[in-house]
Amino acid sequence: MSKRTIVALPGDGIGAVVLDEAIRVLDAAGFEAEYVYGDIGWEFWCREGNPLPQRTLDLIARHRVALFGAITSKPNDEAKAELAPELQGKGFTYSSPIVGLRQHFNLDICVRPCKSYKGNPLNFIRRGKGNTIDEPLVDVVVFRQNTECLYSGVEWTNPPANVYQALLSHPKFRDNFADVPVEELSVSTRIFTRKATERILMAAFEHAAKFGYKSVTVCEKPNVVRETSGLMWKLAKEIQKERYPSIRLLNTNIDAQMMWLTKNPEDYGVIVAGNMFGDIASDAFAGLIGGLGFACSAQFSSDGIAVFEPTHGSAPKYADFKVSIVNPIAMIESACMMLDYIGEKKPASVIRKAIADVIREGKVRTYDMMKMQGRPEVIQNGAASTTMMTDAIIEKLNK
């Protein structure tokens, strides 16, 4: 069989570091692939005025599956200042390449599993009866709509006249904002479409049915955000009734969910939400299983493009450490999600078992697992480096 081709998108900072480590694990687990590297990130913004060059989009379009590290984004003024002198003043504006990638390929389904590993000192615990300590197993999968909502980029400060007139046609706007000078108005729109909302809901229900989760929870705010959250809740009820009557459908408000997940996280299975609340919910659940060092994700389009990435960013403050200290597990787990997707079940399960074994044994732990401040000295103080953690995982493969 010919080797699979995977597009590797290192990006910036620790993104590039953890991607290399994940590929090392994939190789060691016997997954045979050719990696073609794509340009993305800050360097290409500065040099070319585009952090997501067309050649990278072409590469992904051709090979369909990508592993992505992380990128660095900076505020507009810094982005302008760091642009190559010959490109300055030529109308280039920075926008996040990962958001661009999601929109370009319509990667509208984002899946973020949050499952605790036994023995992870960062696992959520709570006080039980008689001062005992409970450590409930968290096994939640967040389905985040990935292209719409507050991330659609349809927003204005000092909106143009036609937009302002349209706003004025809404009675609530007239009652509450008509006195505000237009130049003092900032508006970000929260757009949900029926099609994309149905797709994320269907993906959530399908996943629950396939993997035996008992409930799907819509985590929005339909009592207040009546049109968009309301649409998701209405469609969820229809889908559940017509197609998945045996799966329980729950409705939690995002604010209340943030409280409940620290009381009874074991009661949740699949969570589904729009882009913004899905981002919040997945970070919050990730916090219960060890935080960003453990938070992996997958993103899918409807036509067979898939991008796998840790949910963390480029952590620039650690990027220049001589010995990298960051936890590679989120990236390695994301690579396992890629293996699941392309049907490579054996290496996926072997790698996951190796990660579980290393964590349960507790001999090799990165600084975050030791609750240390991220400094170069953590290695002298007993924390594993990024490479040491990867080596430990590789050593456990097939054991």
- Judged by the rule CB under 6 A, the positions of this chain that interact with ligand NAI are 70-73, 98, 292-293, 309, 312-317, 326-327, 330, 368, 374
Write down the least CB distance from residue 292 to ligand NAI, Å.
4
What distance in Å separates the CA atoms of residue 204 and residue 250, rounded to the nearest whole number? 13
Write down the least CB distance from residue 309 to ligand NAI, Å.
6
119 vs 316, beta carbon nearer ligand NAI: 316
Binding mask 11-50 for Mg ion (x = CB under 5 A): ----------------------------------------
Write down the least CB distance from residue 346 to ligand NAI, Å.
26
141 binds, among Mg ion, ligand NAI, none (CB under 5 to 8 A by kind): none
218 vs 288, beta carbon nearer ligand NAI: 288
Helix or strand holding residue 109 (H, E): strand 109-115
60 binds, among Mg ion, ligand NAI, none (CB under 5 to 8 A by kind): none
108 vs 309, beta carbon nearer Mg ion: 309
Helices 14-28, 329-341: inter-axial angle, 10-degree rounding: 50
Q: Residue holding tokens 């980029």?
A: 153
Residue 257 identity (one-letter amino acid): Q
Q: Residue holding tokens 């349809």?
A: 154
Write down the least CB distance from residue 173 to ligand NAI, Å.
32
Write down the least CB distance from residue 113 to Mg ion, Å.
15
Dihedral sign, CA of 248, 140, 68, 83?
Answer: positive
User: What 3-state DSSP class applies to 298?
Assistant: strand
Write down the least CB distance from residue 286 to ligand NAI, Å.
11
What 8-state DSSP symbol labels residue 151?
Answer: G
185 vs 370, beta carbon nearer ligand NAI: 370
Nearest residue to ligand NAI, scored by beta-carbon proximity: 313
Write down the least CB distance from residue 72 to ligand NAI, Å.
4
Q: Are 28 and 394 in contact (CB under 8 A)?
A: yes
98 vs 280, beta carbon nearer ligand NAI: 98
Q: Residue holding tokens 């797709």?
A: 199
User: What 3-state DSSP class applies to 243?
Assistant: helix
Write down the least CB distance from residue 362 to ligand NAI, Å.
17
317 binds, among Mg ion, ligand NAI, none (CB under 5 to 8 A by kind): ligand NAI
What distance in Å separates the CA atoms of residue 385 and residue 392, rounded to the nearest whole number? 11
Write down the least CB distance from residue 371 to ligand NAI, Å.
12
3-state helix, strand, coil in the chain (%, to 5): 45, 20, 35
Q: Is 309 in the site for Mg ion (CB under 5 A)?
A: yes
71 binds, among Mg ion, ligand NAI, none (CB under 5 to 8 A by kind): ligand NAI
* CA nearest neighbour of 339 among 77, 6, 17: 6
Q: Are 218 and 236 in contact (CB under 8 A)?
A: yes
314 binds, among Mg ion, ligand NAI, none (CB under 5 to 8 A by kind): ligand NAI
330 binds, among ligand NAI, Mg ion, none (CB under 5 to 8 A by kind): ligand NAI
Among 19, 22, 60, 70, binds Mg ion (CB under 5 A): 70
327 binds, among Mg ion, ligand NAI, none (CB under 5 to 8 A by kind): ligand NAI
Number of residues that bind Mg ion (CB under 5 A): 2
Our CA angle for 38, 39, 42, nearest 5°, is: 150
53 binds, among Mg ion, ligand NAI, none (CB under 5 to 8 A by kind): none
Report the DSSP beta bridge partners of residue 27.
Answer: none
70 vs 208, beta carbon nearer Mg ion: 70
218 vs 389, beta carbon nearer ligand NAI: 389
Our CA angle for 4, 8, 9, nearest 5°, is: 155
Q: Are 214 and 207 in contact (CB under 8 A)?
A: no
What distance in Å separates the CA atoms of residue 220 and residue 253, rounded to the nearest whole number? 5
* Count of beta carbons in the 10 Å neighbourhood of residue 382: 10
Write down the least CB distance from residue 71 to ligand NAI, Å.
4
Q: Are 297 and 310 in contact (CB under 8 A)?
A: yes
Residues that bind Mg ion (CB under 5 A): 70, 309
